[in-house]
Structure 1
Amino acid sequence: MTIAVLALQGAFIEHEQMLQKLGVHTIELRQASDLQKDFDGIILPGGESTVQGKLLHALNMFEPLKEKIESGIPVLATCAGMILLASDITEQDESYFETIPMTVKRNAYGRQLGSFHTNAEASGIGEIPMTFIRAPYVESVHTDTSGNTPEILSIVEDRIVGVKYKNQMAFAFHPELDQDTQIHEAFLGMIR
């Protein structure tokens, strides 16, 4: 099994280290040609969603990556990755891949002071540590044209911080920054 990690900016190395700990081969997506390689799943890491969005367009990676996601390849998105997948972003006109019908609020907990750590339940996974760094959260989930609504996986302080929709799991926090491997294992389980 090979997992492709978007490696343009942000916390991608930590995801690679987490997967290597689980014995999984990783490759980095740094240019359009990398999307031609064989891989079984994609990780969209935390970082700056605006910067990642601009780089994806500048490197001609945006459309091919969106097509892969829409064609059903399993995706794990964390923090900025969650923003990239959202159909709507509060107080922002444009969105990115728009592959999960939900409205996300960026930097929802404030800037650096809005970083915190907690333990909470993730549906189907169990109690896990959650590290939030300038994190977004999901304001609302929507029903798509086929009548499907994202499943809410986790709520912290009455805010949605984890969702699953078809082939995509998205979390507002950074599971790659804790030692707990359950989120990555659940993602690998989706692929198997």
Structure 2
Amino acid sequence: MVQESVITAPAPGAAATAPRIGVLALQGDVREHFAALEHCGAEPVGVRRLAELESVDALVLPGGESTAISKLLEVFELLEPLRARLRAGMPAFGSCAGMILLASEVLDTRPDAQHLSGIDMTVRRNAFGRQVDSFETDLDFTGLDDPIRAVFIRAPWAERTGPGVEVLATVPSGPFAGRVVAARQGAVLATSFHPEVTGDLRVHELFVDMVRAA
């Protein structure tokens, strides 16, 4: 079962230096990322239009349905501007569908699906199986002192990572042992699981720190 929330209030004075972080609000679990970012001292902003994308310091791509989100990026004329901002160094974090969108290559997807090439990796969509195959496990995560509880829902994994990519977490045991489920390249972070649904803020804290550093 998903752990009960351990969210606490942001540190005093955090709002004064709050980075403005967009959450792509076209489809998926936007509200959960909003709550996590607020509690980490960031200012979350829903992004549906170009002006909103241009106003933020960084962007979160939430879980949802990756092919639907990629199509909506085209409909809302955000696809190429988002690619351009990523090339220019904008920090980004993608969870589940967001990880798929940030990949440079996607397997088992529709031929018309788009991706953003934010991280040099090949991702397999729905790699762990269908909705009924969803599961939870504890993962060692580089940079975190204690294991993190990871929730996988129709999740992808990375089958290949480029030489500039840091692998942050892999499945520890079982038939999927060793599969890459979290990675970072520069200011871009991706997880195949959903840290926004457990109440454990450490991945979001890591990303907010990355944004501040950038």
TM-score normalised according to structure 2 size: 0.83
Q: Judge conservation of contact 2:138–2:148 (CA < 8 Å) in 1.
A: yes
Question: C-alpha deviations, 1:82-139, integer Å up to 9, x for none?
Answer: 0001111123455411221111011111111121111111111231110100000001
| Aligned-residue RMSD, C-alpha | 1.3
| Pairing 1:2–2:20 present | yes
Return the offset for 1:2.
1.1
Q: Judge conservation of contact 2:67–2:114 (CA < 8 Å) in 1.
A: no
Greater shift after overlay, 23-32 or 166-175? 23-32
1:146 aligned residue: none
1:112 aligned residue: 131
Point out 4+ residue stretches in structure 1 off by more than 3 angstroms.
Answer: 91-95
Unpaired runs of 5+ in structure 1? Answer: 144-148
1:41 aligned residue: 58
CA distance in 2, matches of 1:80, 1:90: 13
Matches within 5 A, 1:105-184: 105-126=124-145, 127-143=147-163, 149-156=164-171, 157-184=177-204
Partner SS, residue 140 of structure 2: strand
Greater shift after overlay, 67-76 or 46-55? 67-76
**Bigger relative contact order, structure 1 or 2, given CA contacts below 8 A and separation 6+?**
2
1:73 aligned residue: 90
CA distance in 1, matches of 2:187, 2:114: 19
Q: Judge conservation of contact 1:84–1:95 (CA < 8 Å) in 2.
A: yes
2:34 aligned residue: 16
CA distance in 2, matches of 1:101, 1:36: 24
Unpaired runs of 5+ in structure 2? Answer: 1-18, 172-176
Partner SS, residue 72 of structure 1: coil
- Higher share of residues assigned strand: 1
How many residues were matched structurally?
186
CA distance in 1, matches of 2:144, 2:85: 26
CA distance in 2, matches of 1:20, 1:191: 14
Using the aligned pairs only, state the percent identity. 40
2:205 aligned residue: 185
Greater shift after overlay, 165-174 or 86-95? 86-95
**Structure label with greater radius of gyration:** 2
